[in-house]
Chains A and B, each alone.
Chain A
Amino acid sequence: MIQMYHVHMSYGQDSPALTDVTMRVDKAEFAFVMGPSGAGKTSLLRLLFLAERCDSGQVLLFGKNVARVRESEVPHLRRRIGIVFQDFKLLSSRTVRENVGMVFEVMGKSRREATHKTNDALRLVGLEHKASSYPLKLSGGEQQRVAIARAIVNDPPILLADEPTGNLDPDLSRDIFDLLCEVNARGVTVLVATHDSDMVGRSQKRVIQLEHGRIAAGGLREY
């Protein structure tokens, strides 16, 4: 589902953010990307949701090399990738329902379909009763649940999460991790970049270790 082969990436003249990265995450797999700050976790995720382009190498999503994809194709690829961030990235001027339903606005789907699917997603994350609330009225954990609902509302095959528990206390982190596992159990490929060694330790999931922009361990699954 996600493959990278000999990927190099740098930001301008700076030292490379990623060097010769080769990794693979299979369909419906759950994997972590771990490493100290500056190891390249966020850069790796940014490549996957096409916010950055690599200097060389191949980035394959759904079997398609997206490293050289045309700009006009990027939005359509992003609709097949759910993304969750540490800072939630919710719009404070829109209700929970509107934040989640925004995905359908962008896709031009009918209101009926949007409402139906938005309700399903909010039910999955346990926030159906907060649909009319505004994000700033919710706790951090609830806001992250809304962000997850938005990321999965249109059933994307891939879910990427960049430090999804970075702003949450351990109990809430556990809830978010359980939720990500539930999403994964529905067949979604989940890749989580994190510092949270407790969460990783509990999970028994594969860990892709990054150090100084290079894969130190776990890039390819061992069968």
Chain B
Amino acid sequence: MSRIAYFPKRALLHLARSLSVTGVTIGTVAVVFLLLGVFALVGYNMSLLADRLGEGLRLNVFLADDCSLGQREEIRKRLDESNKVSSVIYLSRAEALEIFTRRLGARAAVLDGVQNPVPASLQATFVPAARNPAEIGELAQKVVNLPGVEDVQYGQAWLERFFQFVGTSRMLGLVIGILVVLAAGVIISNTIRLSVYARREEIQILKLVGATDGFIKTPFYIEGILLGLLGAALGTLIAWAAFVFLVPGVIMPAGLATARVGVSFLPLPVVGAIVLTGGFLGTLGTMSSLWRHLKV
């Protein structure tokens, strides 16, 4: 039998011989990765929401009634020079009134006989990197005192609260994610320790007949990697199943997410990365266990 096939065969044999320990480990790692999956899912959808909101972010630079064409072009130039904006649109008073009237719909009659109350404005949208309160605020400060500018608005208060919420959630998710990942590593490490203990006699004999460190350790590494991969895959599968069955039936009608915003499951590369993280943790867990409990 080739060496390549020999080690996985031995690893599978060992896992099969201690089926209950194997099952409990995969199950526990799956629960841990289910938690990780849920956090990743919430974080991912929050990022999507932030992106969608970011696309709609506008900096409205309201122009004074006496703003000259030269002043307007100077303001536009300042906005363009910042490298933060993706487009700048000029809305004349007439265009702005038309949009306002359209929004008022049936109540537009209130404007009858009233002089156009809406100022002309420059509306800037932002490149992805600049879609945050700090960048937008900084740009707003640069243009607010330019001649011809009456006011600058970008929904500061709610924007800052939302991004603060996203930032805190990300940080919390990261901390919990790290803890959860460490827990998975410890679980796998303990299982490998049990496996080393159960096979200490075999290890001793293999050493006596001339087995190298690699020969003895490789099956343990394969076991650890398999436990990590299978646990992570199972946990992610459960997260996916819960998403598919619970989101349309329970979460969406409950109003936690609106149909307009929508929620998505994690993209395939992220799922792949989570499962591979399981394998990586299996390697680390095995390494730590062998280092402490297997002096070859």
Contact = CB atoms under 8 A, between A and B. Distances in A.
B204 A91 contact: no
Please give me the 9 A-B residue pairs with the lowest Cβ-Cβ distance, nearest first. Answer: A79-B210, A78-B210, A106-B211, A75-B212, A75-B210, A103-B209, A89-B205, A106-B210, A106-B209
A103 B210 contact: yes
Interface residues of B, number: 16
Interface string A94-138: 000000001101111001000000000000000000000000000
Contacts of A207: none
A76 interface: yes
Contacts of B3: 108
Interface string B105-146: 000000000000000000000000000000000000000000
B209 A102 contact: yes
Interface of A: 49, 72, 75-79, 83, 89-91, 102-103, 105-108, 111, 150
Given A79-B209, A83-B208, A83-B209, 11 more contacts: A72-B212, A72-B213, A75-B207, A75-B210, A75-B212, A89-B208, A90-B205, A91-B201, A91-B205, A103-B210, A106-B215
A221 to B, nearest CB: 28
B6 interface: yes
A53 to B, nearest CB: 14
Contacts of A76: 210
28 contacts: A72-B213, A75-B207, A75-B211, A75-B212, A75-B215, A76-B210, A77-B210, A78-B207, A78-B208, A78-B209, A78-B210, A79-B209, A83-B208, A89-B201, A89-B204, A89-B205, A90-B205, A91-B205, A103-B209, A103-B210, A106-B209, A106-B210, A106-B211, A106-B212, A107-B210, A108-B3, A111-B1, A150-B209
Contacts of A106: 206, 209-212, 215
B202 interface: yes
Nearest to B206: A106
Best-surrounded residue of B3, B202, B212, B215 (most CB of chain A within 10 A): B212
Contacts of B215: 75, 106
Contacts of B204: 89
Interface of B: 1, 3, 6, 201-202, 204-213, 215
Contacts of B205: 89-91, 102
A113 to B, nearest CB: 12
Contact of B6 (A83, A89, A105): A105
A118 to B, nearest CB: 13
Contacts of B201: 89, 91
A143 to B, nearest CB: 13
B169 to A, nearest CB: 50
Contacts of A150: 209
Contacts of B206: 102, 106
Nearest to A110: B1
A117 B210 CA distance: 17
A76 to B, nearest CB: 7
A4 B207 CA distance: 23
Nearest to B1: A111
B202 A91 contact: yes
A49 B205 CA distance: 13
Nearest to A104: B209
A150 B3 CA distance: 21
A108 B206 CA distance: 13
Nearest to B212: A75
Contacts of B210: 75-79, 103, 106-107
